[in-house]
Chain A
């Protein structure tokens, strides 16, 4: 005869302490996610849900050239932004990972862009990249070069958004990677030096393996963040010229809040979520062993 084992009161008490976390997760993560899914299968106008429409919103989104345009812009932005921020961050981290005079000061200076609000950053770059007499074009003019149509040419407009984003996020990669470099055991480097290993060999066979879990984390965090970019193109180019800098999150904003069509907005958001999840899964499957 099986008798249920009585759980001691002390053990039961443990559950009480995780209860707030569960509530938090349910209210602020699970419920919004489920509600977003629910909305994406319903019609809506002016934030009022009307009727169940099945896959209609998804078909609407996937047959809209604006979605595919935003998809291209977002993917281009994510790839270039992640490559540049992580690459530059790593270079800076390697540069500052040594005894230098004033290194503390430079580190502080390097991190200031991180604390800038993206909207303010957008307006700041609007002034810096102003085509008729802005500082960058004036500088180019002084060098005898032609002015660059930073915000009025579709390709350059995307480059401008990228420059601002890289300026803001490189310090993040730099800070985290610098911490990883500084935590690396010194004796490995000393041994490699004794074996007369070259700088590249040390980087390839010691530094990179040591910091790869951190590097992976930086890449994935930056990727997710880049997929969500909205406020920077919103402030800097308003998504233009035409649709040249309109990202998927920009589309979610315009469908949901400007056009008040929650069905279409949430369907776009769900597709975006699936994309980010897919990228994360591929990444973790490929590099998951680094975290074991």
Chain B
């Protein structure tokens, strides 16, 4: 009897397991069918060029951020591989590399000339080293090559377009468009009860569309420590990913722009001069600007913001920070485009239909480097950011078949395929071309997104915020694209973390960073670095 019972339990469990797996598999299948249908349509419409028959049977290797076959950035490479194989008869291997090891693995491969990676779908901050060492090839020659699918370079948002170029040449293929925005709980922000309480506490109307960092700080402080979601626990004001060695430094850069980047006088406020629209170094001396008052004040602001959220977030990567917002325990989240997508997935999010998105706020105070004084402005100094990696493909100088790789990357950059990737948010590809934004400003239709599961209101907010960031902000924080960029960033990251965890004051932290930066610059050669920096930011010395 007992043996019979044990057998029954065993087989019962096996059947239950198989049934559960089947349910999961069918659920995936249902999603896959819709994905496949829309992908087939995109594939049919996209330009395919005229693939060279010689490519048949050949293979190349792509190095990419490790996120798995259905994860951000690496996922689309897996997804589209069968299509491209069908198109060309060639194929590719995907070498996934964790974020923290990207530089070590890729640079070692290039430096030793091993040539394991023919193509890198990597971050934009590697360009300084790529260019200084001739590790990647310019791609302009492919634009008129009939074998290559055509992609629309003019449709790319200008700040991102700059990242794909160096000097007069193009090196990168259009793919991802990263920038930081503020996500917030629309339902909370529009609740008259909270608005009244806020006014009573802070003495001014609740800023439903916050435009300054001071407003963001006040809102974060206001909601922090209150049980506004009614689960019996205190909730948080804001959440960020500030773990050292992850991507917290992007939060700082996006925040600091408006405190540091002073608009140029005259007709063109975006003009780069020695004292205007510079962020990293004095282009005449390569002296770091990181410990100047603008930067110190920005770090003080970030430190204050950190206190209005979970104390644990100084040890959090992206996933943990997003999770707290998506589970409905934080009023705001300061991060990349991914949260816009994840918020629409009911398996991980309770905020679908409640999502508000604000483009990056500004500051009413900006430090004037020329006259060494603070300037108070009537309107906030709005400085956009292209914070994030803006992952995109480049071709290695060691690649055996660069033309074949150029075909693949051009095809991925065609409006149809690229827009499909943006609309299916799991790909991690964020919007940044006119065909991603809604009519009439852009060319996309709301159905492109709602079919994939987006709430119409949420996606409208999301796209509007990014459109404003990319096309309406007059200026943007210059991207650090010089040799050793990752070394400078690592130092910034470490010292930022020291300030956020009370191991140093903001001024001490940035003094240490300035000391590191000078050492790095001297090691790499101050004059060489200065020339690269001038070229990277477009400073002509006028």
CB-nearest residue of chain B relative to A43? B523
Cβ contact within 8 Å between A241 and B111: no
Binds B, one of A150-158, A179-187, A197-205, A282-290: A150-158
Complex: A152 Cα to B315 Cα, angstroms: 5
The answer to whether residues A242 and B315 also contact, given A46-B107, A154-B501 and a CB cut-off of 8 A, is no
Cβ contact within 8 Å between B495 and A242: yes
For residue B314, CB closer than 8 A to chain A, the reply is: yes
A46 interface neighbour in B133, B486, B512, Cβ under 8 Å: B133
Cβ contact within 8 Å between B108 and A242: no
B245 interface neighbour in A46, A60, A149, A239, Cβ under 8 Å: A239
For residue A280, CB closer than 8 A to chain B, the reply is: no
For residue B14, CB closer than 8 A to chain A, the reply is: no
Cβ contact within 8 Å between A45 and B524: yes
What's the count of A-B pairs with C-beta under 8 Å? 94
CB-nearest residue of chain A relative to B105? A257
For residue A225, CB closer than 8 A to chain B, the reply is: no
For B313, list chain A residues within 8 Å (CB): 152
- Interface digits, A34-58 against B, CB 8 Å rule (1 contact, 0 not)? 0000000000011110000000000
For B490, list chain A residues within 8 Å (CB): 254, 258-259
For residue A268, CB closer than 8 A to chain B, the reply is: no
For residue A120, CB closer than 8 A to chain B, the reply is: no
Q: What's the minimum C-beta distance from A251 to chain B, rounded to whole angstroms?
A: 12
For B494, list chain A residues within 8 Å (CB): 239-240, 242-243
The answer to whether residues A261 and B523 also contact, given A47-B108, A239-B244 and a CB cut-off of 8 A, is yes
For residue B185, CB closer than 8 A to chain A, the reply is: no
Cβ contact within 8 Å between A152 and B246: no
CB-nearest residue of chain A relative to B306? A152
Which of A46, A132, A154, A157 lies at the interface centre, i.e. has the most chain B CB atoms within 10 A of its CB? A132
Complex: A132 Cα to B314 Cα, angstroms: 12
> Which of under 10, 10 to 19, 20 to 34, or 35 or more describes the interface residues of A?
20 to 34
Cβ contact within 8 Å between A243 and B107: no
For B501, list chain A residues within 8 Å (CB): 152-154, 241-242, 244
The answer to whether residues A260 and B108 also contact, given A149-B312, A242-B244, A254-B490 and a CB cut-off of 8 A, is yes
Complex: A150 Cα to B316 Cα, angstroms: 12
Complex: A45 Cα to B243 Cα, angstroms: 28
- Interface digits, A128-139 against B, CB 8 Å rule (1 contact, 0 not)? 001110000000
For A237, list chain B residues within 8 Å (CB): 244, 315
For residue A65, CB closer than 8 A to chain B, the reply is: yes
For residue B497, CB closer than 8 A to chain A, the reply is: yes
Tell me which residues from 356 to 404 in chain B have a Cβ below 8 Å from any Cβ of chain A. Answer: none
B503 interface neighbour in A47, A238, A241, Cβ under 8 Å: A241
Complex: A254 Cα to B108 Cα, angstroms: 13
Q: What's the minimum C-beta distance from A223 to chain B, rounded to whole angstroms?
A: 27
For A150, list chain B residues within 8 Å (CB): 315
For residue B285, CB closer than 8 A to chain A, the reply is: no
Q: What's the minimum C-beta distance from A159 to chain B, rounded to whole angstroms?
A: 13
Cβ contact within 8 Å between A132 and B497: no
Q: What's the minimum C-beta distance from B138 to chain A, rounded to whole angstroms?
A: 21
Q: What's the minimum C-beta distance from B317 to chain A, rounded to whole angstroms?
A: 9
Number of interface residues of B (CB under 8 A): 38
For residue B311, CB closer than 8 A to chain A, the reply is: yes
Complex: A254 Cα to B100 Cα, angstroms: 10
Complex: A60 Cα to B111 Cα, angstroms: 23
Tell me which residues from 227 to 258 in chain A have a Cβ below 8 Å from any Cβ of chain B. Answer: 234, 237-244, 254, 257-258
CB-nearest residue of chain A relative to B509? A242
CB-nearest residue of chain A relative to B487? A259
Cβ contact within 8 Å between B243 and A46: no
For B244, list chain A residues within 8 Å (CB): 237-242
For B497, list chain A residues within 8 Å (CB): 240-242
A132 interface neighbour in B246, B324, B512, Cβ under 8 Å: B324
CB-nearest residue of chain A relative to B515? A65
Complex: A254 Cα to B103 Cα, angstroms: 10
For A149, list chain B residues within 8 Å (CB): 311-312
Q: What's the minimum C-beta distance from B129 to chain A, rounded to whole angstroms?
A: 8
Cβ contact within 8 Å between B243 and A238: yes
For residue B345, CB closer than 8 A to chain A, the reply is: no
Cβ contact within 8 Å between B503 and A242: yes
The answer to whether residues A157 and B108 also contact, given A46-B133, A238-B245 and a CB cut-off of 8 A, is no
Complex: A152 Cα to B321 Cα, angstroms: 13
Complex: A108 Cα to B503 Cα, angstroms: 43
For B315, list chain A residues within 8 Å (CB): 131, 150-152, 157, 237, 240-241
Complex: A261 Cα to B486 Cα, angstroms: 13
Complex: A130 Cα to B244 Cα, angstroms: 16
Cβ contact within 8 Å between A131 and B311: yes
Interchain Cβ contacts under 8 Å between A and B, 23 examples? A45-B524, A46-B110, A46-B111, A64-B519, A132-B312, A149-B311, A152-B311, A152-B312, A152-B501, A153-B501, A238-B100, A238-B244, A238-B245, A240-B245, A240-B497, A241-B244, A241-B314, A241-B497, A241-B498, A242-B504, A258-B490, A260-B107, A260-B111
| Known A46-B110, A238-B245, A240-B314; further 5 A-B contacts with Cβ < 8 A | A151-B315, A152-B501, A242-B494, A257-B104, A258-B104
Complex A-B, nearest 3 residue pairs according to Cβ-Cβ distance, in ascending order? A240-B244, A238-B245, A131-B312
Q: Which B positions have Cβ atoms within 8 angstroms of A?
A: 100, 103-104, 107-108, 110-112, 129, 133, 243-246, 310-315, 320, 324, 484, 486-487, 490, 494-495, 497-498, 500-501, 503-504, 512, 519, 523-524
